[in-house]
Amino acid sequence: MYHNPVLLEESVTGIVTKPDGIYVDVTFGGGGHSCEIINRLDETGRLLAFDQDADAQQNVIEDPRFCFISHNFFHLKRFLQFYKAYPVDGILADLGVSSHQFDVAERGFSHRLNDKLDMRMDNSKGITAAEIVNTYPAQRLARIFSEYGELKQAYSIALRIEKAREIAPIETTGNLVEILTPFLHRGKENKMLSQIFQAIRIEVNQEIEALKLLLEQVVDALKPHGRIAIISYHSLEDRLVKIFFKTGNFEGKIETDFYGNHLTPFKLVTRKAIVPQAEEIAMNPRSRSAKLRIAEKTEARNN
C-alpha cells in the first residue's frame, strides 16, 4: 500500500457532520482519508484535496465530487475561493510522512535506505537535506536538532557534522548515518537516527511554519460549526495545535470580553488528544506517535 491512513475512523468521523457538505483533505498522500470522506458524502457533497508531492497524483480519486489540487496548503484560502468552495464544513490534516515517501530510497527520508539526502516533500524545488547538513553552521544545526529532534547532544552532533564535511561533502543518507555512529547508543540506534532525520526533514520542508499558516487560515476558511482535525507526530506540532485550538493564537493568550467571557474561535471536540489503539499500532507501527485533535468553529468571522 502507498500509505496506511492513521486514525482513519476517528478523524473522518470527527469532521464529516453533513453528507452534503464541502470538505478538504490538505494532506492527500495515498488518499486513504479522502476515500473514506468521499464514502460518507451524498451526491451533492464535495471534497477538495491538496498535495505538493507529485507522487500523490497517481492516487487521485475518479469521482465527480472530488477535486485534486497539486499545491501545498500554504494557499488554502486562495484555492478554495478559486474553486468556489469557500467556506467549508470540515478540514483534515495528517502531518506525517507517508509510508511511500519513507520507502522510496531516492526521496532520502529514511536512514534505513542509502541514497541521496533530499527529504523534500516537493522534490522539484526548495533546499535539500544535503544542502542543510553541508552549509548550516554548527549552532544552527544544533538548534534544529534540539528543537525539532529533542536531542540532548544536539551541539556535539552538529560539531561532528561540521568537521566531517570539511573532509568530504555529506551527500547520502549512508554518509550521514556513518558520521553519526559514535552517538548511537546500543539498542536505541533507530530511535536516535529517526530523531535526527526528523529534525532535518522538518527544517527542509519548513513544517512548523506551514502548520502555523494552515491554522491561521482555517479560522476564516471554516463555516460556523465547521470542524478541523489535525493528526500530528511531533510534540512541537501537537503543542501548537493544542494552544491554537484553545486560544486562537500561538502565544496561548486567552482574550476576554467586557464580562470576562473567553473569546476563542473554537470549541474543543476532543479535550485530550486521541491516540491509536494497540491494534492499530501493531498493524502500522509508524502510527505509534500520532495524536489527533479536533475542534469546531464557534462563531462567524469576516472573511
Q: What is the pLDDT of residues 39-65, one digit of tens each?
A: 999 999 999 999 987 778 888 999 999
Query: Residue 135 phi/psi, 5° resolution?
Result: -125, -25
Q: pLDDT at position 279, please?
A: 95
Q: pLDDT at position 108, please?
A: 59
- Alpha-carbon gap, residue 134 to 139, rounded angstroms: 13
Mean pLDDT of 256-274: 87
- Over 90: is that where the pLDDT of 158 sits? yes
Mean pLDDT of 202-220: 94
Q: Please report which residue ranges of the chain form alpha helices under DSSP H.
A: 8-15, 32-39, 76-82, 99-103, 129-135, 138-147, 154-167, 173-180, 189-205, 207-221, 235-247, 278-283
The closest of 303, 278, 273 to 290, measured between CA atoms, is: 273
- Over 60: is that where the pLDDT of 115 sits? yes
User: Which band of pLDDT confidence, cut at 50, 70 and 90, is reported for residue 300?
Assistant: low
Residue appearing with cell numbers 532535518: 200
Neighbours of 10 (CB within 10 A): 19
59-89 pLDDT, tens digit per residue, is 899 999 999 999 888 889 999 999 999 999 9
Structural domains in the chain, CATH included, are 8-99+207-297 (3.40.50.150), 106-205 (1.10.150.170)
- Over 70: is that where the pLDDT of 98 sits? no
Let me know: does 71 contact 82? Beta carbons within 8 Å: no
User: Which band of pLDDT confidence, cut at 50, 70 and 90, is reported for residue 105?
Assistant: low
Q: Judge if pTM exceeds 0.85.
A: yes
